[in-house]
Structure 1
Amino acid sequence: MNEVDLSPLGLFMQASPVVKGVFCVLIGYSLLCWSVILEKVFVLRRLRAQAARLERAPAAAAGEGLAATLHALGRREAGQRPAGEDQEAARERIERTLQDHLAAVLLRAEQRLGYLATISSTAPFVGLFGTVWGVMNAFAGIARLQNTSLAAVAPGIAEALAATAIGLLAAIPAAIAYNEFAGELGHCARRIRLGIARLAVHFSTEAPPCPC
């Protein structure tokens, strides 16, 4: 009696071409998911650090990174105060410039997050397709061999269930990471916007008074 290899590699090698294709798609999903997760971990770590710097005194924002860039932009805008502009108008102008820069930074930080949402919603269905196809193959094999023993059915059923398992292994981390990163990104954005408001007030009062 031939021994059936039910290891992950064995299931892959024994699978039909369609199910092998499903396995490859899901493995690709998983690799993409973890590459995005690792990238966003570092992106959010930097954003949290910059938000913490902006929460301190405006002068502490000098240095490098986003906080330093916002600090430099605020100082530049304060130095370009047009004639006749009062302090409130200067504050609004400075804050608007800094918010525009932050919007561009957040847009870059959000790139590829959509991949996680796509993987979390589609991977289970791709796995389910592989499962359905594998079960169909298993029943076709039973009909062809006219053998309903466990040894005859197990490889096809295991192949089918493996597709669902791999789909869930790709989807679950993607769903958790997407929700976590989206929430953390929003939290960092709110903290940085508060820091921008403080910077705008600081530089509008520091700017030279407009000529009367």
Structure 2
Amino acid sequence: MTVIDLLAATADSAVAAAPTRLDPIELFVSADIVVQLVIAGLLIASIWVWAIIIGFTMRMGRVRRASAAFEDEFWANDNVDLVMGARRRKDNPSARIAAAGIGEFRESHKQGLKDRQAASARVAQAMEGQVADESDTLSRRLNFLATVGSVAPFVGLFGTVWGIMNSFFQIGLQQNSSLAVVAPGIAEALFATAVGLFAAIPAVIAYNRLSHTVNGYEANLARFADRVHAQVSREMETL
């Protein structure tokens, strides 16, 4: 067998042994320890992102249904104390907003309505503050989505840079710049960037969508507070 035939046979066997598709698990196992830590951190962040998305979506559904039911009952029932008492301890932002306004009205009435305009302004401020608190409470966990969406690509890029540096180190160590030496390390490095994007893209999309949902719900709460304030102001005029 000639030298050319031997080289051809070696190349054919190498091609036959080469993987036919990417194996993420193999890339992770073969990666440098730093790259592995980066990938593991990004995967944990991605799991947390999806947990927040699912949990927040389910909670918003419950809160919206509870608020809608309370508002319908609030406007249909003349006994405010009965409505407020039944829902006071439940996760119901609309009930807490109404309680803030009515509580301020009763406190002002207890002290004597010497200045109805000032009392009406205090009622409005109490409910506006409660609307802001409810919005902040709902959107608090969304900050993590924004953080992952902005930071995860750079964390993945750090893993990629580290992996490429390690590949160049292997070139110098083996004194061989062939693709067979460089390719595995580069593939492992680029896998870190792919995982970073895998964590960041859903986080950005979910943050934008869920923030829009919170803003819309906050607007609904503000409209409900305005209606309650109008009703309280009319009652003040009769006192």
Give me the TM-score of the superposition, normalised by structure 2: 0.74
- The aligned runs of 1:63-102 (5 Å cut-off) are 64=87, 65-80=92-107, 81=109, 82-85=111-114, 87-102=116-131
State the distance in 1 between where 2:95 and 2:198 align: 41
The answer as to whether partners of 2:113 and 2:119 remain within 8 angstroms in 1 is: no
Among 162, 168, 173, which residue is 2:191 paired with? 162
Tell me how far 1:123 sits from its aligned partner.
Answer: 0.8
The answer as to whether partners of 1:54 and 1:192 remain within 8 angstroms in 2 is: no
Aligned to 1:108: 137
2:11 aligned with 1:7, yes or no? no
The answer as to whether partners of 1:127 and 1:166 remain within 8 angstroms in 2 is: yes
What secondary structure is seen at the aligned counterpart in 2 of 1:101?
helix
State the Cα deviation string for residues 82-133 of structure 1 (Å, max 9, x = none). 4234654443222222222222222221213222221111111111111111
Tell me how far 1:56 sits from its aligned partner.
Answer: 5.3
State the distance in 1 between where 2:235 and 2:31 align: 71
State the distance in 1 between where 2:165 and 2:188 align: 11
State the Cα deviation string for residues 155-180 of structure 1 (Å, max 9, x = none). 21210110010000111111111222
Runs of at least 5 residues in structure 2 that lack an aligned partner in the other structure:
1-12, 78-82
Among 141, 166, 169, which residue is 2:170 paired with? 141
State the distance in 2 between where 1:199 and 1:54 align: 13
Between 1:190-199 and 1:83-92, the stretch displaced more is 83-92
Aligned residues: 210
Between 1:51-60 and 1:32-41, the stretch displaced more is 51-60
Among 37, 55, 62, which residue is 1:39 paired with? 55
* Identity in percent: 38
Cα RMSD of the aligned pairs, angstroms, is 2.9
Aligned to 1:129: 158
